[in-house]
């Protein structure tokens, strides 16, 4: 249930100390012309003013692929992953440089942070990313974040930056996530279609019941459209972070607390950050089927998953991958980061950890999924 009305929005936004702002490719670039320097300048002016007023700002910026098209002689976003990665490699440097110059006009230093899915799921990476952000913010730097497109493979790619921004908002303990696009908010149907109207406030899933979201708009450079923005809002609000979705043109009004765009009110509380991606977005690279006792242990007692309770292994995965955990009927009950390769597991199933240690050595005493790496669905 919601806690506030639309009229409280100004207070809510003014109270936000740490803000993650995500801007889409469609608000910064065109496929034909690359980065639009005037749009970058206007955005940076708004962010610099927010910082000047005391907010800590983290910027998640898309646009690397679009910025890299023109220098490579391309006029539209290529379909193939390798070509997109090449464009991102060219464009990311141009984008970072543009931001650096614009923020410098306001006396603000920027730092580039390129993230992969691993950085928000694997424990050591997550801690490292968290510490880097904390230090940058402490130093007064504006971190400029994007997905590390040049190395991410299709299986482990966010693709759009909306969900990445939600995870970053949680990683840095933000109070507010602002999603800026080429559309001024969430509409109940494709914007521009007869009868579609703006949804000013989303307090719970019920407010999304009559809403149809589509993929990208006319820009030709965006990814994911409104669907990934609503997913991002779900991730952030479910983790206790309010979300404002509006157009880049309305960024100043949104940050001033004016009633523009769509406010998604926080519904939940903080959860361990690196598991958010596991819960919301990734799909398992394989499956582990449990017996009824193991389901009870994992779901009710929140215990680690041991080989003794596993009855079947599906798919091909390696240690560290995300796998779906199934109950005896095949329903997904949890997802976790597995500690063994798929081909190691069949020989271990049904055996106690003591037995495995005696037969195979101390390396086999470990849990198949540690409870800290397991999220219930
Ligand atoms: N229900 C909806 N409400 C608002 N926009 C929508 C909706 N469904 C689809 N869209 C489209 O989503 C587009 C924004 O997403 P996208 O192109 O990925 O932009 P960005 O680069 O900002 O991420 C808008 O241009 C709009 O046409
Ligand atoms: N990381 C990619 C983001 C891809 C993309 O288009 O995202 P978005 O515009 O946020 O939907 C890039 O910088 O080009």
DSSP assignment of 138-153 equals: HTT-EEEEEE-TTT--
**Atom 4 in ligand 2: which residue has the minimum CA distance?**
160
The domain of 300 spans 283-376
Q: What is the pTM of this model?
A: 0.85
Q: 349 pLDDT exceeds 80?
A: yes
Q: State whether the beta carbon of 61 lies less than 6 angstroms from ligand 1.
A: no
Same domain, 242 and 293: no
pLDDT score for 202: 97
Predicted pLDDT at 24: 93
Q: Are residues 355 and 227 in the same domain?
A: no
Residues 89/67, Cβ–Cβ less than 8 Å: no
* pLDDT number for residue 3: 46
pLDDT at 192: 79
Distance 22 CA to ligand 2 centre (A): 10
* CATH at residue 213: 3.40.1160.10
Q: Domain ends where: 223, 245, 278? A: 278
3-class secondary structure, 55: coil
Q: How confident is the model at residue 258 (pLDDT cuts 50, 70, 90)?
A: very high
Whether residue 54 lies inside any domain: the answer is yes
Is the shortest distance between the CB of 267 and ligand 2 below 6 Å? no
Sign of the alpha-carbon dihedral angle for 84, 60, 222, 41: negative
62 is in an annotated binding site: yes
Residue-wise pLDDT for 147-159, tens only, equals: 999 887 766 677 7
217 with 105, same domain: the answer is yes
Answer yes or no: do 257 and 310 share one domain: no
To the question of whether residue 1 is assigned a binding role by annotation, the answer is: no
- CATH code, domain carrying 317: 2.30.130.10
Q: Which of 252, 278, 304 is the last residue of a domain?
A: 278
% of the chain beyond a pLDDT of 70: 93
149 lines ligand 2 (CB under 6 A): yes
Same domain, 136 and 255: yes
What's the burial of 11, exposed, middle or buried (CB within 10 Å: 0-12/13-18/19+)? exposed
Residue 339 and residue 258 in one domain: no
User: CB neighbours of 70 closer than 8 A, spacing ≥ 6?
Assistant: 32, 33, 34
* Residue 192, ligand 1, Cβ within 6 A: no
Over 60: is that where the pLDDT of 6 sits? Answer: no
Do 372 and 245 fall into the same domain?
Answer: no
Does the Cβ of 58 fall within 6 Å of ligand 2?
A: no
Number of neighbours of residue 91 by Cβ within 10 angstroms: 26
Q: Provide the pLDDT for residue 38.
A: 94
Does a structural domain hold residue 320? yes
Any domain includes 62: yes
Angle in degrees, 0-180, between the axes of helices 81-104 and 37-52, rounded to the nearest 10: 50
The mean per-residue pLDDT over the stretch 176-202 comes to 92
Rounded to the nearest angstrom, the distance between the alpha carbon of 160 and the centre of ligand 2 is 5
Choose the weakest-confidence range: 26-30, 60-64, 92-96, 179-183.
26-30
What is residue 217's predicted lDDT score, i.e. its pLDDT? 63
Tokens 């007692």 correspond to what residue?
301
- Note whether 287 and 252 are same-domain residues: no
Alpha helix (H) ranges present in the chain?
A: 9-15, 37-52, 64-69, 81-104, 117-121, 123-138, 162-171, 225-238, 251-255, 274-280, 292-299, 353-360
Tens digits of residue pLDDT in 52-110 = 999 999 999 999 999 999 999 998 888 888 999 999 999 999 999 999 999 999 999 99
Residues 272 and 303 in one domain: no
Q: How does residue 2 score in pLDDT terms, banded at 50, 70 and 90?
A: very low
How many angstroms separate the alpha carbon of residue 89 from the centre of ligand 1? 25
CB atoms within 10 A of CB 132: 15
Query: How many angstroms does the Cα of residue 223 sit away from the middle of ligand 1?
Result: 9
Nearest CA to ligand 2 atom 2: 62
Q: Measured between alpha carbons, how far is 76 from 31 in angstroms, rounded to an integer? A: 5
Which tokens is 345 given? 């597991």
Average pLDDT over the chain reads 90
Average pLDDT over residues 170-193: 93
My answer on whether 355 and 293 are in the same domain is yes
In a domain, 1, yes or no: no
Given a cut of 80, whether residue 256 has pLDDT beyond it is yes
Last residue of a domain, which of 262, 278, 294? 278
- Say how many domains are in the chain: 2
Residue whose CA is at the smallest distance from ligand 1 atom 26: 217
The answer to whether residues 102 and 138 belong to one domain is: yes
The verdict on 107 and 187 lying in the same domain is: yes
Q: Look at residue 118 in the predicted model and tell me its pLDDT.
A: 81
CA of 295 to the centre of ligand 1 (A): 40
pLDDT above 80 (res 169): yes
> Which of the four pLDDT bands, split at 50, 70 and 90, describes residue 221?
low
Helices (H), 239-350: 251-255, 274-280, 292-299
| Two tokens, residue 312 | 């079947």
């Amino acid at each position: 249930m919601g806690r506030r009305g639309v009229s409280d929005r100004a207070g809510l936004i003014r109270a936000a100390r740490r803000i993650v702002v995500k801007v889409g490719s469609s608000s910064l670039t065109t496929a034909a012309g690359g980065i639009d320097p005037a749009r970058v300048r206007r955005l940076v002016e708004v962010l610099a003013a927010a910082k000047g007023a005391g907010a800590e700002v983290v910027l998640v910026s898309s646009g690397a692929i679009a910025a890299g098209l023109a220098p490579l002689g391309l006029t539209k976003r290529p379909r193939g992953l390798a070509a997109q990665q090449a464009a991102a490699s060219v464009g990311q440097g141009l984008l970072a440089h543009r931001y650096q110059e614009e923020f410098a006009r306001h006396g603000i230093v920027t730092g580039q942070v390129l993230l992969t899915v691993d950085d928000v799921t694997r424990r050591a990476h997550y801690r490292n990313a968290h510490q880097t952000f904390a230090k940058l913010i402490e130093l007064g730097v504006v971190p400029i974040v994007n997905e590390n497109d040049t190395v991410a493979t299709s299986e482990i790619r966010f693709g759009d930056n909306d969900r990445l921004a939600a995870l970053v908002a949680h990683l840095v303990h933000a109070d507010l996530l602002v999603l800026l696009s080429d559309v001024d908010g969430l509409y109940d149907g494709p914007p521009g279609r007869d009868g579609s109207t703006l949804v000013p406030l989303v307090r719970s899933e019920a407010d999304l019941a009559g809403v149809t979201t589509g993929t990208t708009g006319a820009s030709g450079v965006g990814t994911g459209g409104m669907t990934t923005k609503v997913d991002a809002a779900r991730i952030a609000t479910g983790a206790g972070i309010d979300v404002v979705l509006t157009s880049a043109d309305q960024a100043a009004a949104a940050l001033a607390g004016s009633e523009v765009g769509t406010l998604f009110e926080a519904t939940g509380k903080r959860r361990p950050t690196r598991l958010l991606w596991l819960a919301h977005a990734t799909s398992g690279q394989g499956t582990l089927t449990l017996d009824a006792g193991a389901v009870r242990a994992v779901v009710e007692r929140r215990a680690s998953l041991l080989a003794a309770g596993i009855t079947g292994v599906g798919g091909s995965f390696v240690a560290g991958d995300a796998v779906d955990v199934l109950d005896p009927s095949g329903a997904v009950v949890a997802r976790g980061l597995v500690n063994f390769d798929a081909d190691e597991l069949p020989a271990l199933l049904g055996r106690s950890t003591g037995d495995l240690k005696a037969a195979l050595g101390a390396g086999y005493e470990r849990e198949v999924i540690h409870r800290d790496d397991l999220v219930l669905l």
